[in-house]
Chains A and B, each alone.
Chain A
């Protein structure tokens, strides 16, 4: 499942760090696995996010043709 990051919530420090890791607004993210803890692929990097962190990243789903 691939989507585009549309908004980051959460504290400033967290938002800054994930933006610095290339996980900012408009970046493409693919969820690989996980339920409470998610494993995602962003810019070729596998990133694990815990449940609270994942809830701070709002993603819009992209249909296959729109990627």
Chain B
């Protein structure tokens, strides 16, 4: 299943396979091939591959290279597809037919799914699909994937035992025809390509030398490469741009075809999207709207989430009390109350706020605003040497850096992509949210401080992370990864009403993932941490919990690292939290729950923030002063505390060099900035 970006491939894929792959109203949602199973009208299973969107087989970015290589049979891990479903956005037929034109060259069985027929009709465009089918000689199925229309007809077409091959033919310009024939023969003889694939590949290679430079492709034989060089040198000498000639030739053929197929029933004026864009991408109102969205997001996180958080808090407290009363005192009861309930319960309470964050991200993705945000951010991004397209992965990283880093595959320039990968984890992700919220709650008692102040601090942390990402991007673009300013061309999709069902599904998915982490990684770490804080037992069983922890394995390890973090205002207990949360940032909260919730009795179930507020240094001075709370938040803004992100950066850069560099520069910056802020704060009397 192949087509231009944002033409509805994944919606159609989900409708056919029953899967729930992520969809969104902006180009570049699918960045890797997805495989699902559907059934023909006769019940025969069919494997369907959803490929990343591409404008052309001349790939410009790693995601487009996946599509090209699967279609050309160049991927060792994926057999060449038996049939190709070309999904076309009917409201933009000409441009979508360009890719189809290239695919028809492959001589493979093709079905055309003419998607978004409703949008085309809304624009006053009527498409004679029967005529298009007649002209091309392949099945053309009008459909509206989003409404489930045309799926039966598409399944019927897919169920046909034999599909006709396209009648499509076009004349390759005569001066290039000799080169195409020569390369085609070499690709068949020495690279083992089937003749028609070889012809299509010869056309690509001759007109787009860059196709060789995109990673992931099977290398060509020396003979083919030699021929290619000869022809390129010859054309260069002649000063002729054969690529432009070929594209023009294809568009002329497409325009000829469309003359008989498209009927414009009316000339449409400015669309609703145009009118909305007049405000949302306006040089002043656009920023006002963007700011309003961010403020609304953080207000919702603090105000709307309060009620469900109180319920969860109550349930966790009741569970803890019940376990305390139902079990005899001892290690097992302490493990359940202090390790499991104190650790996991402390993190589960943040679920409503995580869900609100993903609701807002889902709204932005579903309506088409993501691409507008990239448009708005292009100007500030250009100041640091990147362009607006890099902002989509960065914006996605507010939810989680992992999909954000994977979304960089849509960036054409390899150095720009690497810079974006390096700075993406600086954007405050949802895992930092519990840490910020805990510190803000510790810093500001809710009964005396207005919500606006808390929102301001939270917004400040997000702004700090974003500024850090921009600052480091600027630095990397001028030092390690210097390259010419990149040229950006980005398609802005029409606005769509939010698809609440899809948003709800994504919220539940992310919420489930959060709970799964709480039930696995965080539970595991909490249990291990409880053990490390409970053993070895102090010789005197009557000692206070503080003394017991200080003598435990965790306490001993914490004291070892304390000299390193004391200049930041942190003691060994915070140090344990920093070390354990290297697995995932939210583990810090559960670790604090385990470390500070060990006194037993009723105090265990009091909110963690109250316990933190009363924590002290051995000399009786408060540990979590306002300055330390702020410094701790700043530490989490900058530090690289996520093993999953390190693993994904290793995969995307194909080397350990960059993830290790990322850990060093981010954590080093975190230490340095925290040191400066804490020491300056102390000097200022805080």
Contact = CB atoms under 8 A, between A and B. Distances in A.
Contacts of B210: 13
B492 A48 contact: yes
A56 B277 contact: no
A48 B494 CA distance: 13
Interface residues of A, number: 36
Interface in A1-57: 10-25, 32-37, 39, 41, 43-53, 56
A10 B485 CA distance: 12
B538 interface: no
A51 B385 CA distance: 12
B95 A36 contact: no
A50 B492 contact: no
Given A24-B248, A49-B488, A50-B488, A12 B243 contact: yes
A19 B281 contact: no
A50 B282 contact: no
A37 B55 contact: no
A46 B491 contact: yes
A23 B277 CA distance: 21
Contacts of B241: 12
Residue of A14, A17, A37 with highest tally of chain B CB at under 10 A: A37
Contacts of B277: 32-33, 39, 46
A46 B271 CA distance: 11
Contact of B489 (A12, A34, A35, A53): A53
Contacts of B231: none
B243 A17 contact: no
Contact of A44 (B123, B208, B251, B490): B123
B273 A17 contact: no
B243 A48 contact: no
Interface stretch (B126-134, B372-380, B429-437): B372-380
Given A19-B247, A37-B379, A46 B487 contact: no
Given A37-B375, A39-B281, A50 B388 contact: yes
A53 B98 contact: no
B581 interface: no
Contacts of A24: 244, 247-248, 251
Contact of B98 (A20, A48, A51): A20
A21 to B, nearest CB: 6
A48 B91 contact: no
A10 to B, nearest CB: 6
Contact of B55 (A17, A36, A51, A53): A17
A39 B375 contact: yes
Contacts of B281: 33-34, 39
B388 A52 contact: no
B251 A51 contact: no
A50 B382 contact: yes
A17 B207 CA distance: 12
B5 to A, nearest CB: 11
B93 to A, nearest CB: 9
Contact of B491 (A32, A35, A47): A47
Nearest to A37: B378
A35 B233 CA distance: 40
A51 B207 CA distance: 27
A30 B378 CA distance: 20
B143 interface: no
Given A20-B98, A22-B98, A48 B378 contact: yes
B58 interface: yes
Given A46-B491, A49-B488, A53-B487, A20 B56 contact: yes
Interface in B82-100: 91-92, 94-95, 98
A53 B95 contact: no
B378 A50 contact: yes
Interface in B356-376: 371, 374-375
Contact of A48 (B208, B248, B388): B388
A25 B95 CA distance: 15
B247 A16 contact: yes
Contacts of A12: 241, 243
Nearest to B485: A52
A44 B488 contact: no
Contacts of B374: 48
A39 B24 CA distance: 21
A16 B243 contact: yes
B117 to A, nearest CB: 15
Interface in B61-99: 91-92, 94-95, 98
B283 interface: yes
B60 A44 contact: no
B285 to A, nearest CB: 11
Interface in B332-371: 371
Given A15-B244, A39-B375, A53-B488, A45 B283 contact: no
Given A39-B375, A46-B494, 9 more contacts: A10-B487, A13-B60, A17-B489, A25-B244, A37-B375, A46-B491, A48-B489, A48-B491, A53-B489
Interface of B: 55-56, 58, 60, 91-92, 94-95, 98, 123, 207-208, 210, 241, 243-244, 247-248, 251, 273-274, 277-278, 281-283, 371, 374-375, 378-379, 382, 387-388, 412, 485-494
8 contacts: A15-B244, A20-B247, A32-B274, A33-B281, A44-B123, A47-B489, A48-B375, A56-B487
